[in-house]
């Protein structure tokens, strides 16, 4: 099925891709607030570990294959790991400003000149900083590296809590690959996520004849200049980034379900509130970045481009005449985000359209599997949903990207 991003220009896609990467990072700013409320800080940290460790090895390998830099068995090196981080929702460009050093194929370092996640968590106190930068980062960095080489180890040189309080860079890490290192294995939850439709989703291949880069098989670049990629490559990257978000969300749902037990209502409440928060913030960023109109047509276009409803190969939806029509699909069979929308759950759709204009609303009819949402205009503007307001506390909600030069990194 053709991508819903296929009618965007190359220039628009180069704007869209970093936006999607940042949106993926902000999913946790929405979801973890409700996990803390329900389960406490320590269980929240365990949920974060499980969701990232269960999803990142899968989507990292997907992007390696899509962009032609997948290593042969046993040949995955630090350059491959660093390329993967540049295309990972866990490390969106500039907001998580990774700077890389390559010593040789098996030894490298990175540091963060700016960590947006730290800026969000630091005001909450050192316990929350330690939970993110120690408890969560240690297993999840290794889980990401295992997608490239199970003998890779990512270890800190220094990391927050920052001493002194304004220490720069925010953190620094080594990456070493050595056959003598005990191999890292994927966690059991990763095997569950690997069996989802999202994990094995087939997307259209990149057209090598299209103008611009069709892969990332060349040297590691300090910053990815997305304008250098072909339109076809950017479409595939955008769809892959949406798959990353779905896989992360499926792993999040799996982790929350393990804590909610028999309380199905608690599971549904937490996962729906997570979606409402990220849906509204994502819609606002897409609307602003692509300069879409502040009218009903603009809201429908935001819906069409929103990660909730992408890729088209995963979520079966159509958009016309002020209506969104959703049908049963691989996403509904996975229990993905779209299952948190429908006649009995309109808040995520309301958050999206109200990010364009607070006077907009939706009326939804049908069943939980197949439904139609019609956009309507209300006389009075709606207030911002609590879930969206919580997510907006992140500095990522209003983060602005800047132009960067794309320079190759040579071993030092």
Mean pLDDT to the nearest integer, 251-271: 98
pLDDT of res. 238: 98
Q: Is 68 in contact with 240 (CB distance < 8 Å)?
A: no
pLDDT of res. 232: 98
| Per-residue pLDDT band at 145 (split at 50, 70, 90) | confident
For the chain, give the mean pLDDT. 96
Distance, in Å, from the CA atom of 365 to the CA atom of 342, rounded to the nearest integer, reads 8
pLDDT of res. 409: 87
Helix/strand/coil for 240: helix
Q: Which long-range contacts (CB under 8 A, 24 or more apart) does 155-160 make?
A: 157/109, 157/111, 159/133, 159/134, 160/118, 160/122, 160/129, 160/130, 160/133
Q: Is 286 in contact with 28 (CB distance < 8 Å)?
A: no
Distance, in Å, from the CA atom of 277 to the CA atom of 348, rounded to the nearest integer, reads 8
Tens digits of residue pLDDT in 61-112: 999 999 999 999 889 999 999 999 999 999 999 999 999 999 999 999 999 9
Q: Is 97 in contact with 168 (CB distance < 8 Å)?
A: no
**Residue 142 pLDDT greater than 90, yes or no:** no
pLDDT of res. 38: 97
**336 preceded by a cis bond (ω within 30 of 0):** no
Distance, in Å, from the CA atom of 372 to the CA atom of 317, rounded to the nearest integer, reads 10
Helix/strand/coil for 44: helix
pLDDT of res. 197: 98
CB-based burial, 269-291: b 16+ in 10 Å, e otherwise: ebbbbbbbbbbbbbbbbbbebbe
Beta bridge partners of 57: none
Q: Is 314 in contact with 330 (CB distance < 8 Å)?
A: yes
pLDDT of res. 404: 87
Distance, in Å, from the CA atom of 208 to the CA atom of 227, rounded to the nearest integer, reads 16
Mean pLDDT to the nearest integer, 398-411: 88
Tens digits of residue pLDDT in 230-251: 999 999 999 999 999 999 999 9
Q: Which long-range contacts (CB under 8 A, 24 or more apart) does 263-271 make?
A: 266/38, 268/340, 269/34, 270/31, 270/34, 270/35, 270/38, 271/31, 271/340
The residue with greater pLDDT, 335 or 142, is 335
Write the Ramachandran bin of 92: left for phi over 0, alpha for psi from -120 to 50, otherwise beta. Answer: beta
Mean pLDDT to the nearest integer, 254-274: 98
Distance, in Å, from the CA atom of 337 to the CA atom of 348, rounded to the nearest integer, reads 9
Tokens of 310: 């992408």
Residue 9, judged by CB atoms within 10 A of its CB (0-12, 13-18, 19+), counts as: exposed
Mean pLDDT to the nearest integer, 275-303: 97
Tell me how long the chain is: 412
131: phi then psi, degrees, rounded to nearest 5: -60, -40
Does this model's pTM top 0.85? My answer is: yes
Mean pLDDT to the nearest integer, 46-55: 97
Q: Which long-range contacts (CB under 8 A, 24 or more apart) does 85-88 make?
A: 85/110, 85/144, 86/221, 86/224, 87/21, 87/63, 87/216, 87/224, 87/237, 87/240, 87/241, 88/21, 88/56, 88/59, 88/60, 88/63, 88/144, 88/244
Sheet holding 171-177: strands in order across?
96-104, 107-115, 171-177, 152-158
The percent of residues above 70 in pLDDT, for the chain, comes to: 100
DSSP assignment of 119-132: HHHGGG-HHHHHII
Tokens of 164: 């002194």
């Amino acid at each position: 099925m053709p991508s819903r991003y296929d009618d965007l220009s190359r220039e628009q896609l180069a704007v869209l891709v970093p936006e999607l990467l940042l949106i993926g990072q902000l999913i946790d700013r929405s979801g973890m607030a409700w996990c803390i409320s329900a389960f406490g800080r320590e269980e929240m940290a365990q949920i974060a570990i499980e969701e990232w460790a269960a999803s990142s090895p899968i989507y990292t390998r997907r992007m390696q294959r899509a962009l032609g830099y997948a290593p042969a068995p046993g040949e995955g090196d630090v350059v491959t790991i660093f390329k993967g981080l540049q295309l990972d929702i866990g490390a969106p460009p500039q907001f998580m400003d990774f700077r890389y050093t390559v010593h040789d194929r098996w030894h490298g370092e990175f540091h963060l000149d700016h960590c947006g996640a730290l800026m969000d968590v630091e005001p909450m106190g050192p316990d929350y900083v330690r939970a993110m930068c120690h408890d969560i980062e240690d297993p999840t960095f290794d889980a990401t590296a295992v997608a490239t080489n199970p003998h890779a180890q990512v270890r800190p040189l220094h990391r927050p809590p920052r001493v002194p309080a304004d220490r720069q860079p925010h953190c620094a890490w080594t990456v070493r690959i050595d056959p003598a290192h005990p191999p890292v294995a994927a966690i059991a939850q990763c095997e569950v996520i690997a069996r989802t439709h999202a994990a094995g989703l087939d997307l259209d291949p990149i057209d090598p004849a299209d103008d611009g880069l069709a892969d990332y098989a060349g040297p590691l670049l300090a910053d990815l200049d997305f304008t250098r990629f072909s339109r076809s490559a950017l479409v595939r990257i955008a769809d892959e980034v949406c798959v990353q978000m779905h896989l992360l969300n499926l792993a999040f749902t799996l982790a929350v379900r393990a804590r909610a037990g028999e309380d199905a209502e608690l599971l549904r409440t937490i996962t729906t509130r997570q979606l409402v928060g990220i849906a509204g913030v994502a819609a606002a960023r897409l609307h602003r970045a692509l300069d879409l109109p502040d009218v009903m047509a603009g809201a429908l276009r935001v819906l069409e481009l929103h990660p909730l409803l992408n890729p088209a190969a995963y979520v079966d939806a159509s958009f016309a005449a002020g209506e969104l029509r959703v049908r049963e699909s691989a996403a509904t069979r996975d229990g993905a985000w779209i299952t948190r929308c429908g006649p009995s759950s309109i808040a995520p759709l309301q958050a999206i359209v109200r990010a364009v204009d607070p006077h907009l609303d939706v009326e939804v009819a049908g069943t939980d599997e197949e439904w139609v949402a019609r956009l309507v205009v209300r006389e009075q503007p709606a207030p911002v949903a609590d879930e969206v307001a919580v997510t907006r506390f992140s500095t990522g909600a209003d983060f602005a990207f800047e132009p960067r030069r794309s320079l190759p990194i040579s071993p030092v």
